[in-house]
Structure 1
Amino acid sequence: MVRIAALLPGACAALLLAGCGGAAKDAARVKPDDAAVIDALADPIMSDPELASQNEAHAAIAVSGPVSAALPPIEAGDGAVDAARDAAARLIGGAPAAVPDAGPTDLTPFREAMTAAQMAVAARVPGSDCAGRVSYTARWATMLPEPLSVYPRGAVDEAAGSDVGCRLRIVHFRSPVAVADVLAFYYARLRSARFTVEHASDGAGHLLRGRQGGTGYVVYLRPNEDGLTAADVVVGGV
Protein backbone atom coordinates (compact mmCIF):
# COMPACT_ATOMS: atom_id res chain seq x y z
CA MET A 1 0.00 0.00 0.00
CA VAL A 2 1.34 3.45 -0.81
CA ARG A 3 2.61 5.14 2.32
CA ILE A 4 3.40 8.82 2.91
CA ALA A 5 7.05 9.48 3.73
CA ALA A 6 7.78 11.39 6.94
CA LEU A 7 9.94 14.44 6.21
CA LEU A 8 12.76 14.84 8.71
CA PRO A 9 14.81 18.08 9.01
CA GLY A 10 18.12 17.83 7.21
CA ALA A 11 17.25 14.53 5.57
CA CYS A 12 15.64 13.43 2.32
CA ALA A 13 12.20 11.86 2.49
CA ALA A 14 12.31 8.13 1.87
CA LEU A 15 9.52 5.86 0.74
CA LEU A 16 8.12 3.72 3.48
CA LEU A 17 8.08 0.05 2.66
CA ALA A 18 4.85 -1.84 2.03
CA GLY A 19 3.65 -4.32 4.65
CA CYS A 20 5.20 -7.28 2.76
CA GLY A 21 8.60 -5.59 2.59
CA GLY A 22 8.52 -4.39 -1.02
CA ALA A 23 9.17 -0.75 -1.86
CA ALA A 24 6.08 1.39 -2.38
CA LYS A 25 5.78 2.66 -5.95
CA ASP A 26 5.12 6.27 -5.06
CA ALA A 27 4.63 8.59 -2.08
CA ALA A 28 1.66 10.89 -1.68
CA ARG A 29 2.38 14.52 -0.88
CA VAL A 30 0.92 15.82 2.35
CA LYS A 31 -1.34 18.84 1.97
CA PRO A 32 -1.18 21.42 4.77
CA ASP A 33 -4.75 20.68 5.82
CA ASP A 34 -3.99 16.96 5.88
CA ALA A 35 -0.94 17.62 8.05
CA ALA A 36 -3.19 19.47 10.50
CA VAL A 37 -5.55 16.52 10.71
CA ILE A 38 -2.68 14.05 11.14
CA ASP A 39 -1.19 16.21 13.91
CA ALA A 40 -4.56 16.29 15.67
CA LEU A 41 -5.08 12.54 15.37
CA ALA A 42 -1.69 11.86 16.93
CA ASP A 43 -2.28 14.39 19.73
CA PRO A 44 -3.07 12.84 23.14
CA ILE A 45 -6.15 15.09 23.29
CA MET A 46 -7.71 12.93 20.60
CA SER A 47 -7.32 9.72 22.58
CA ASP A 48 -7.19 10.67 26.25
CA PRO A 49 -10.63 11.18 27.86
CA GLU A 50 -9.01 13.10 30.72
CA LEU A 51 -7.93 15.76 28.23
CA ALA A 52 -11.22 15.90 26.35
CA SER A 53 -12.20 19.21 27.95
CA GLN A 54 -9.19 20.82 26.26
CA ASN A 55 -10.43 19.79 22.82
CA GLU A 56 -12.54 22.83 21.99
CA ALA A 57 -15.90 21.51 23.19
CA HIS A 58 -15.08 17.95 22.06
CA ALA A 59 -14.57 18.91 18.41
CA ALA A 60 -13.52 16.02 16.19
CA ILE A 61 -10.44 17.93 15.07
CA ALA A 62 -8.69 20.65 17.03
CA VAL A 63 -5.52 22.21 15.66
CA SER A 64 -3.67 25.18 17.04
CA GLY A 65 -0.37 26.81 16.16
CA PRO A 66 1.59 26.58 12.92
CA VAL A 67 1.00 23.55 10.76
CA SER A 68 3.83 21.68 9.07
CA ALA A 69 3.29 19.78 5.83
CA ALA A 70 5.61 17.04 7.12
CA LEU A 71 4.21 14.08 9.01
CA PRO A 72 5.22 14.15 12.68
CA PRO A 73 7.74 11.43 13.59
CA ILE A 74 6.15 8.66 15.59
CA GLU A 75 7.11 8.45 19.27
CA ALA A 76 8.24 4.91 20.04
CA GLY A 77 9.81 5.22 23.51
CA ASP A 78 8.56 3.33 26.55
CA GLY A 79 6.70 6.40 27.80
CA ALA A 80 4.81 6.82 24.53
CA VAL A 81 3.93 3.12 24.42
CA ASP A 82 2.67 3.16 28.02
CA ALA A 83 0.63 6.31 27.39
CA ALA A 84 -1.00 4.79 24.30
CA ARG A 85 -1.81 1.56 26.15
CA ASP A 86 -3.28 3.50 29.08
CA ALA A 87 -5.47 5.54 26.73
CA ALA A 88 -6.60 2.36 24.98
CA ALA A 89 -7.45 0.71 28.33
CA ARG A 90 -9.61 3.70 29.30
CA LEU A 91 -11.50 3.49 26.01
CA ILE A 92 -12.42 -0.16 26.59
CA GLY A 93 -12.89 0.15 30.35
CA GLY A 94 -9.91 -1.90 31.46
CA ALA A 95 -7.53 -4.53 30.18
CA PRO A 96 -8.83 -6.32 27.08
CA ALA A 97 -9.78 -9.98 27.20
CA ALA A 98 -7.71 -12.52 25.33
CA VAL A 99 -8.38 -12.76 21.61
CA PRO A 100 -9.48 -16.25 20.49
CA ASP A 101 -6.95 -18.24 18.51
CA ALA A 102 -6.86 -17.40 14.83
CA GLY A 103 -8.04 -19.59 12.03
CA PRO A 104 -5.61 -20.02 9.12
CA THR A 105 -6.03 -17.74 6.14
CA ASP A 106 -4.18 -16.44 3.10
CA LEU A 107 -3.39 -12.75 3.56
CA THR A 108 -1.52 -12.39 0.26
CA PRO A 109 -4.05 -9.89 -1.22
CA PHE A 110 -3.57 -7.62 1.81
CA ARG A 111 0.23 -7.92 1.86
CA GLU A 112 0.42 -7.09 -1.84
CA ALA A 113 -1.97 -4.11 -1.74
CA MET A 114 0.00 -0.99 -2.68
CA THR A 115 -2.83 1.58 -2.61
CA ALA A 116 -5.85 2.26 -0.44
CA ALA A 117 -8.07 1.24 -3.36
CA GLN A 118 -6.33 -2.13 -3.62
CA MET A 119 -6.66 -2.63 0.12
CA ALA A 120 -10.40 -1.94 -0.14
CA VAL A 121 -10.76 -4.50 -2.94
CA ALA A 122 -8.87 -7.09 -0.87
CA ALA A 123 -11.17 -6.41 2.11
CA ARG A 124 -14.35 -7.19 0.13
CA VAL A 125 -16.55 -5.07 2.38
CA PRO A 126 -19.79 -3.37 1.26
CA GLY A 127 -18.69 -0.58 -1.06
CA SER A 128 -15.46 -2.26 -2.19
CA ASP A 129 -16.71 -2.01 -5.76
CA CYS A 130 -16.36 1.79 -5.40
CA ALA A 131 -12.67 1.54 -4.47
CA GLY A 132 -11.56 3.11 -7.74
CA ARG A 133 -13.46 6.31 -6.94
CA VAL A 134 -12.03 7.10 -3.50
CA SER A 135 -10.46 10.46 -2.72
CA TYR A 136 -7.33 10.81 -0.60
CA THR A 137 -7.30 13.11 2.43
CA ALA A 138 -6.41 12.55 6.07
CA ARG A 139 -9.87 13.76 7.05
CA TRP A 140 -11.27 10.33 6.21
CA ALA A 141 -9.42 9.06 9.28
CA THR A 142 -11.82 11.09 11.45
CA MET A 143 -14.86 9.46 9.82
CA LEU A 144 -14.33 5.89 11.00
CA PRO A 145 -17.06 4.35 13.19
CA GLU A 146 -16.09 4.71 16.85
CA PRO A 147 -15.14 1.03 17.46
CA LEU A 148 -12.73 1.26 14.53
CA SER A 149 -11.17 4.66 15.20
CA VAL A 150 -7.39 4.95 15.02
CA TYR A 151 -5.61 3.33 17.96
CA PRO A 152 -4.69 6.00 20.55
CA ARG A 153 -1.71 8.10 19.45
CA GLY A 154 -1.37 6.19 16.20
CA ALA A 155 0.39 7.97 13.32
CA VAL A 156 -1.90 8.16 10.28
CA ASP A 157 0.07 7.81 7.06
CA GLU A 158 -2.76 7.60 4.54
CA ALA A 159 -6.55 7.83 4.47
CA ALA A 160 -9.05 7.54 1.64
CA GLY A 161 -12.78 7.22 1.29
CA SER A 162 -15.94 7.94 -0.59
CA ASP A 163 -19.53 8.96 0.13
CA VAL A 164 -20.44 9.13 -3.57
CA GLY A 165 -22.27 6.03 -4.78
CA CYS A 166 -21.04 4.11 -1.75
CA ARG A 167 -19.71 4.70 1.75
CA LEU A 168 -16.13 3.54 2.16
CA ARG A 169 -13.21 4.44 4.44
CA ILE A 170 -9.63 3.13 4.27
CA VAL A 171 -7.02 4.25 6.82
CA HIS A 172 -3.39 3.19 7.24
CA PHE A 173 -1.57 4.05 10.46
CA ARG A 174 1.42 2.96 12.52
CA SER A 175 1.73 2.44 16.27
CA PRO A 176 4.68 1.69 18.56
CA VAL A 177 2.37 -0.61 20.54
CA ALA A 178 2.76 -4.35 19.85
CA VAL A 179 0.48 -6.09 17.35
CA ALA A 180 -1.04 -8.28 20.09
CA ASP A 181 -2.13 -5.23 22.11
CA VAL A 182 -3.62 -3.42 19.12
CA LEU A 183 -5.39 -6.61 18.08
CA ALA A 184 -6.89 -7.07 21.56
CA PHE A 185 -8.02 -3.42 21.62
CA TYR A 186 -10.00 -3.70 18.38
CA TYR A 187 -11.39 -7.11 19.31
CA ALA A 188 -12.71 -5.72 22.61
CA ARG A 189 -14.20 -2.57 21.04
CA LEU A 190 -15.88 -4.45 18.21
CA ARG A 191 -17.39 -7.08 20.49
CA SER A 192 -18.61 -4.38 22.86
CA ALA A 193 -20.27 -2.58 19.92
CA ARG A 194 -21.95 -5.87 18.90
CA PHE A 195 -20.07 -6.35 15.67
CA THR A 196 -19.36 -9.91 14.64
CA VAL A 197 -15.63 -10.63 14.86
CA GLU A 198 -13.63 -13.29 13.04
CA HIS A 199 -9.91 -13.58 13.79
CA ALA A 200 -7.58 -15.08 11.18
CA SER A 201 -3.81 -15.16 10.72
CA ASP A 202 -1.15 -16.42 8.34
CA GLY A 203 1.49 -16.46 11.06
CA ALA A 204 2.90 -13.01 10.27
CA GLY A 205 -0.18 -10.83 9.98
CA HIS A 206 -3.52 -10.80 11.76
CA LEU A 207 -6.96 -10.04 10.38
CA LEU A 208 -10.19 -9.12 12.14
CA ARG A 209 -13.25 -9.25 9.91
CA GLY A 210 -16.97 -8.90 10.57
CA ARG A 211 -20.05 -6.79 10.23
CA GLN A 212 -23.03 -5.22 11.91
CA GLY A 213 -26.12 -4.82 9.75
CA GLY A 214 -25.05 -3.27 6.46
CA THR A 215 -21.61 -2.24 7.73
CA GLY A 216 -18.62 -4.50 7.11
CA TYR A 217 -15.03 -4.02 8.22
CA VAL A 218 -11.53 -5.44 8.07
CA VAL A 219 -8.62 -4.65 10.40
CA TYR A 220 -5.27 -5.89 9.06
CA LEU A 221 -2.31 -5.78 11.49
CA ARG A 222 1.32 -6.82 11.13
CA PRO A 223 4.77 -5.81 12.40
CA ASN A 224 6.71 -3.64 9.95
CA GLU A 225 10.42 -3.45 9.27
CA ASP A 226 10.91 -0.70 11.90
CA GLY A 227 9.49 -2.83 14.69
CA LEU A 228 6.26 -0.82 14.72
CA THR A 229 2.75 -2.14 14.19
CA ALA A 230 1.34 -1.37 10.75
CA ALA A 231 -2.44 -1.27 10.57
CA ASP A 232 -5.04 -0.93 7.85
CA VAL A 233 -8.69 -0.35 8.72
CA VAL A 234 -11.27 -0.71 5.94
CA VAL A 235 -14.95 -0.02 6.59
CA GLY A 236 -17.76 -0.12 4.05
CA GLY A 237 -21.47 0.66 4.23
CA VAL A 238 -21.00 3.00 7.23
Structure 2
Amino acid sequence: MMRSRFRGLALVVLPVALSACGPRDGDRNLDSLDNELVDAGNASRDPALTSALQDQIMVDPQLAQQANNDAVRPPAQPYSGAVPPDGVAIPPSGAVAATGASTSETLRKAPAPQGSCPQCRAARESLTLGALAAQQKDKRTSGCAGSMRYSARWAQRLPADLPLYPDARVTEAAGSEASGCALRAVSFASSASLQTVLDWYYTRVTRAGYSAEHQADGGEHVLGGTRDRDNGAFALFLTSRKDGGTDVDLVANNGN
Protein backbone atom coordinates (compact mmCIF):
# COMPACT_ATOMS: atom_id res chain seq x y z
CA MET A 1 0.00 0.00 0.00
CA MET A 2 2.78 2.42 0.96
CA ARG A 3 4.76 1.46 -2.15
CA SER A 4 1.85 2.25 -4.47
CA ARG A 5 1.35 5.65 -2.85
CA PHE A 6 5.06 6.50 -3.24
CA ARG A 7 4.94 5.40 -6.86
CA GLY A 8 1.91 7.63 -7.52
CA LEU A 9 3.58 10.60 -5.82
CA ALA A 10 6.71 10.09 -7.91
CA LEU A 11 4.66 10.13 -11.07
CA VAL A 12 3.29 13.55 -10.07
CA VAL A 13 6.57 15.13 -8.81
CA LEU A 14 8.85 13.92 -11.60
CA PRO A 15 7.19 15.88 -14.46
CA VAL A 16 7.17 18.98 -12.31
CA ALA A 17 10.90 18.61 -11.56
CA LEU A 18 11.70 17.98 -15.18
CA SER A 19 9.73 21.01 -16.25
CA ALA A 20 11.72 23.13 -13.76
CA CYS A 21 14.99 21.98 -15.33
CA GLY A 22 13.92 22.73 -18.87
CA PRO A 23 13.78 26.27 -20.45
CA ARG A 24 10.70 28.28 -19.69
CA ASP A 25 8.76 30.24 -22.29
CA GLY A 26 9.86 33.48 -20.64
CA ASP A 27 13.52 32.44 -20.78
CA ARG A 28 13.17 31.54 -24.42
CA ASN A 29 11.70 34.97 -25.11
CA LEU A 30 14.60 36.71 -23.33
CA ASP A 31 17.16 34.66 -25.24
CA SER A 32 15.46 35.50 -28.51
CA LEU A 33 15.43 39.19 -27.61
CA ASP A 34 19.12 39.11 -26.72
CA ASN A 35 19.95 37.49 -30.01
CA GLU A 36 17.92 40.05 -31.90
CA LEU A 37 19.72 42.90 -30.14
CA VAL A 38 23.08 41.36 -30.88
CA ASP A 39 22.13 40.86 -34.51
CA ALA A 40 20.83 44.42 -34.74
CA GLY A 41 24.12 45.73 -33.42
CA ASN A 42 26.19 43.54 -35.70
CA ALA A 43 28.36 46.03 -37.61
CA SER A 44 28.64 43.66 -40.56
CA ARG A 45 25.10 44.58 -41.57
CA ASP A 46 25.82 48.34 -41.65
CA PRO A 47 28.87 49.46 -43.71
CA ALA A 48 28.74 52.98 -42.26
CA LEU A 49 28.80 51.64 -38.71
CA THR A 50 31.62 49.27 -39.59
CA SER A 51 33.67 52.13 -40.99
CA ALA A 52 33.00 54.33 -37.99
CA LEU A 53 34.05 51.65 -35.51
CA GLN A 54 37.01 50.13 -37.34
CA ASP A 55 38.68 53.06 -39.15
CA GLN A 56 41.67 54.76 -37.57
CA ILE A 57 41.11 57.98 -35.65
CA MET A 58 42.66 61.05 -37.29
CA VAL A 59 44.94 62.92 -34.88
CA ASP A 60 46.89 66.15 -35.41
CA PRO A 61 50.24 65.60 -33.61
CA GLN A 62 50.84 69.31 -33.16
CA LEU A 63 47.48 69.90 -31.54
CA ALA A 64 47.88 66.77 -29.43
CA GLN A 65 51.13 68.13 -28.04
CA GLN A 66 49.35 71.36 -27.12
CA ALA A 67 46.54 69.61 -25.26
CA ASN A 68 48.40 69.61 -21.94
CA ASN A 69 45.56 67.70 -20.29
CA ASP A 70 47.64 66.12 -17.53
CA ALA A 71 49.64 69.19 -16.55
CA VAL A 72 49.28 70.64 -13.07
CA ARG A 73 50.54 74.02 -14.23
CA PRO A 74 49.24 76.06 -17.19
CA PRO A 75 51.22 75.79 -20.46
CA ALA A 76 54.45 77.74 -20.76
CA GLN A 77 53.08 79.70 -23.73
CA PRO A 78 49.68 80.39 -25.30
CA TYR A 79 48.31 77.88 -27.76
CA SER A 80 49.29 78.63 -31.32
CA GLY A 81 47.02 81.15 -33.05
CA ALA A 82 49.52 82.99 -35.19
CA VAL A 83 48.47 85.99 -37.27
CA PRO A 84 49.20 85.53 -40.99
CA PRO A 85 52.31 87.36 -42.21
CA ASP A 86 51.88 90.80 -43.76
CA GLY A 87 52.89 89.56 -47.20
CA VAL A 88 50.05 87.03 -47.39
CA ALA A 89 47.81 89.55 -49.19
CA ILE A 90 50.29 90.51 -51.93
CA PRO A 91 49.20 89.13 -55.32
CA PRO A 92 51.61 86.81 -57.18
CA SER A 93 52.45 89.47 -59.77
CA GLY A 94 53.49 91.94 -57.08
CA ALA A 95 51.92 94.71 -55.08
CA VAL A 96 51.83 97.15 -57.98
CA ALA A 97 49.44 94.92 -59.92
CA ALA A 98 46.77 95.40 -57.26
CA THR A 99 46.49 99.10 -58.11
CA GLY A 100 46.44 98.67 -61.86
CA ALA A 101 49.57 100.81 -62.14
CA SER A 102 52.38 100.08 -64.50
CA THR A 103 55.36 98.19 -63.13
CA SER A 104 57.54 101.00 -64.53
CA GLU A 105 55.76 103.62 -62.42
CA THR A 106 58.12 106.00 -60.68
CA LEU A 107 57.01 107.24 -57.28
CA ARG A 108 57.45 110.87 -56.43
CA LYS A 109 59.56 111.53 -53.37
CA ALA A 110 57.55 113.11 -50.59
CA PRO A 111 59.08 116.37 -49.32
CA ALA A 112 60.83 116.44 -45.98
CA PRO A 113 58.57 117.29 -43.03
CA GLN A 114 58.19 120.98 -42.29
CA GLY A 115 57.33 122.78 -39.05
CA SER A 116 55.63 121.35 -35.98
CA CYS A 117 53.06 118.58 -36.09
CA PRO A 118 49.84 119.43 -34.21
CA GLN A 119 48.09 116.64 -36.07
CA CYS A 120 50.51 114.13 -34.58
CA ARG A 121 49.31 115.09 -31.13
CA ALA A 122 45.69 114.83 -32.30
CA ALA A 123 46.37 111.31 -33.50
CA ARG A 124 47.93 110.30 -30.18
CA GLU A 125 44.96 111.65 -28.24
CA SER A 126 42.32 110.04 -30.46
CA LEU A 127 41.16 106.62 -29.35
CA THR A 128 38.80 106.07 -32.29
CA LEU A 129 38.61 106.98 -35.96
CA GLY A 130 35.64 109.19 -35.19
CA ALA A 131 37.65 111.15 -32.63
CA LEU A 132 40.49 111.50 -35.12
CA ALA A 133 38.12 112.82 -37.81
CA ALA A 134 36.61 115.29 -35.34
CA GLN A 135 40.03 116.93 -34.81
CA GLN A 136 40.72 117.59 -38.50
CA LYS A 137 41.22 121.18 -39.66
CA ASP A 138 38.82 120.70 -42.56
CA LYS A 139 35.41 121.83 -41.26
CA ARG A 140 33.41 119.48 -43.47
CA THR A 141 35.40 116.54 -42.17
CA SER A 142 35.13 117.47 -38.49
CA GLY A 143 31.45 118.34 -38.89
CA CYS A 144 30.61 114.88 -40.23
CA ALA A 145 32.59 112.99 -37.58
CA GLY A 146 29.68 112.77 -35.16
CA SER A 147 27.56 110.77 -37.60
CA MET A 148 30.21 108.17 -38.46
CA ARG A 149 29.30 104.48 -38.30
CA TYR A 150 31.74 101.59 -38.08
CA SER A 151 31.80 98.77 -40.63
CA ALA A 152 34.43 97.09 -42.79
CA ARG A 153 32.46 98.05 -45.92
CA TRP A 154 33.61 101.67 -45.61
CA ALA A 155 37.13 100.54 -46.51
CA GLN A 156 35.82 99.65 -49.98
CA ARG A 157 34.28 103.08 -50.48
CA LEU A 158 37.31 105.34 -50.27
CA PRO A 159 37.79 108.06 -52.90
CA ALA A 160 39.10 106.61 -56.17
CA ASP A 161 42.25 108.72 -55.95
CA LEU A 162 42.90 107.69 -52.32
CA PRO A 163 42.69 103.88 -52.38
CA LEU A 164 44.02 101.43 -49.84
CA TYR A 165 47.70 100.60 -50.12
CA PRO A 166 48.08 97.36 -52.15
CA ASP A 167 48.90 95.00 -49.26
CA ALA A 168 46.78 96.81 -46.67
CA ARG A 169 45.39 94.71 -43.82
CA VAL A 170 42.36 96.65 -42.59
CA THR A 171 41.77 96.62 -38.85
CA GLU A 172 38.96 99.18 -38.60
CA ALA A 173 36.85 101.32 -40.90
CA ALA A 174 34.13 103.94 -40.48
CA GLY A 175 32.25 106.44 -42.57
CA SER A 176 29.27 108.76 -42.89
CA GLU A 177 26.85 109.79 -45.60
CA ALA A 178 24.49 111.70 -43.32
CA SER A 179 23.38 115.18 -44.43
CA GLY A 180 25.55 115.22 -47.52
CA CYS A 181 28.65 113.84 -45.79
CA ALA A 182 31.07 111.68 -47.77
CA LEU A 183 33.54 110.91 -45.00
CA ARG A 184 35.66 107.75 -44.86
CA ALA A 185 38.25 106.65 -42.27
CA VAL A 186 40.33 103.46 -42.32
CA SER A 187 43.04 101.97 -40.11
CA PHE A 188 45.33 99.42 -41.74
CA ALA A 189 48.80 97.92 -41.60
CA SER A 190 51.28 97.34 -44.42
CA SER A 191 54.51 95.39 -44.70
CA ALA A 192 56.03 98.29 -46.68
CA SER A 193 58.28 100.82 -45.00
CA LEU A 194 56.92 104.17 -43.87
CA GLN A 195 58.83 106.06 -46.58
CA THR A 196 57.49 103.78 -49.31
CA VAL A 197 53.88 104.19 -48.17
CA LEU A 198 54.40 107.95 -47.80
CA ASP A 199 55.83 108.29 -51.32
CA TRP A 200 53.08 106.09 -52.78
CA TYR A 201 50.31 108.28 -51.40
CA TYR A 202 52.16 111.51 -52.14
CA THR A 203 52.39 110.47 -55.79
CA ARG A 204 48.67 109.80 -55.99
CA VAL A 205 47.33 112.85 -54.19
CA THR A 206 49.51 115.31 -56.10
CA ARG A 207 48.51 113.77 -59.42
CA ALA A 208 44.85 114.01 -58.36
CA GLY A 209 45.16 117.74 -57.67
CA TYR A 210 45.45 117.74 -53.88
CA SER A 211 47.87 119.91 -51.98
CA ALA A 212 50.18 117.88 -49.76
CA GLU A 213 51.84 119.01 -46.54
CA HIS A 214 54.20 116.68 -44.69
CA GLN A 215 54.71 117.02 -40.93
CA ALA A 216 56.45 114.78 -38.43
CA ASP A 217 57.07 114.40 -34.73
CA GLY A 218 59.67 111.74 -34.04
CA GLY A 219 58.45 108.51 -35.60
CA GLU A 220 54.97 109.89 -36.30
CA HIS A 221 54.27 111.36 -39.76
CA VAL A 222 51.25 113.14 -41.20
CA LEU A 223 50.54 113.88 -44.86
CA GLY A 224 47.49 116.05 -45.43
CA GLY A 225 45.93 118.34 -48.01
CA THR A 226 42.85 119.70 -49.76
CA ARG A 227 41.51 120.09 -53.30
CA ASP A 228 39.72 123.28 -54.33
CA ARG A 229 37.62 121.97 -57.21
CA ASP A 230 35.44 119.73 -55.03
CA ASN A 231 36.43 120.71 -51.48
CA GLY A 232 38.01 117.31 -51.03
CA ALA A 233 40.35 116.76 -48.09
CA PHE A 234 42.51 113.98 -46.70
CA ALA A 235 44.87 113.26 -43.82
CA LEU A 236 47.24 110.32 -43.66
CA PHE A 237 48.80 109.29 -40.32
CA LEU A 238 51.78 106.94 -40.50
CA THR A 239 53.82 105.20 -37.81
CA SER A 240 56.65 102.69 -38.24
CA ARG A 241 56.24 99.26 -36.73
CA LYS A 242 58.92 97.15 -35.08
CA ASP A 243 58.79 94.59 -37.90
CA GLY A 244 59.67 97.24 -40.49
CA GLY A 245 56.11 97.76 -41.71
CA THR A 246 53.80 100.72 -41.25
CA ASP A 247 50.58 101.41 -39.36
CA VAL A 248 48.32 103.86 -41.18
CA ASP A 249 45.18 105.86 -40.39
CA LEU A 250 43.56 107.45 -43.43
CA VAL A 251 40.80 110.06 -43.17
CA ALA A 252 39.29 111.21 -46.48
CA ASN A 253 36.37 113.41 -47.43
CA ASN A 254 34.35 112.99 -50.67
CA GLY A 255 34.36 109.21 -50.50
CA ASN A 256 32.53 107.02 -53.00
TM-score with structure 1 length normalisation?
A: 0.63
Tell me the equivalent position of 2:173.
159
Larger Rg: 2
Q: Matched residue pairs, number?
A: 171
Matching of residues 9-20 of structure 1 within 5 Å: 10=79
1:103 aligns with 2:97: no
| Cα pair 1:155 1:174 within 8 Å, conserved | yes
Out of 102, 116, 129, the position equivalent to 2:129 is 116
Tell me the equivalent position of 1:235.
252
SS in 2 for 1:127: helix
Alignment-mate amino acid for residue 124 of structure 2: R
User: Tell me, which stretches of 5 or more residues in structure 1 are unaligned?
Assistant: 1-8, 14-71
1:83 aligns with 2:94: yes
Q: Could you tell me how far 1:134 is from its partner in structure 2?
A: 0.8
Tell me the equivalent position of 2:222.
207
Q: Over aligned residues, Cα RMSD in angstroms?
A: 2.9
What is the distance in 2 between the residues matched to 1:122 and 1:74?
33
User: Tell me, which stretches of 5 or more residues in structure 2 are unaligned?
Assistant: 1-77
- Identity %, equivalent residues: 32
Going from structure 1 to structure 2, the CA distance change for 1:131 and 1:74 (only over 3 Å counts) comes to farther
TM-score with structure 2 length normalisation?
A: 0.59
Going from structure 1 to structure 2, the CA distance change for 1:133 and 1:175 (only over 3 Å counts) comes to same
Alignment-mate amino acid for residue 237 of structure 2: Y
Alignment-mate amino acid for residue 129 of structure 2: A
Of structures 1 and 2, the one scoring higher in RCO (CA 8 A, sep 6+) is 1
1:217 aligns with 2:228: no
1:187 aligns with 2:202: yes
| Cα pair 1:198 1:210 within 8 Å, conserved | yes
Structure with the larger helix share = 2
1:139 aligns with 2:153: yes
What is the distance in 2 between the residues matched to 1:81 and 1:103?
38
Runs of 4+ residues over 3 Å off in structure 1: 9-13, 79-82, 85-89
Alignment-mate amino acid for residue 110 of structure 1: A
| Cα pair 1:127 1:237 within 8 Å, conserved | no
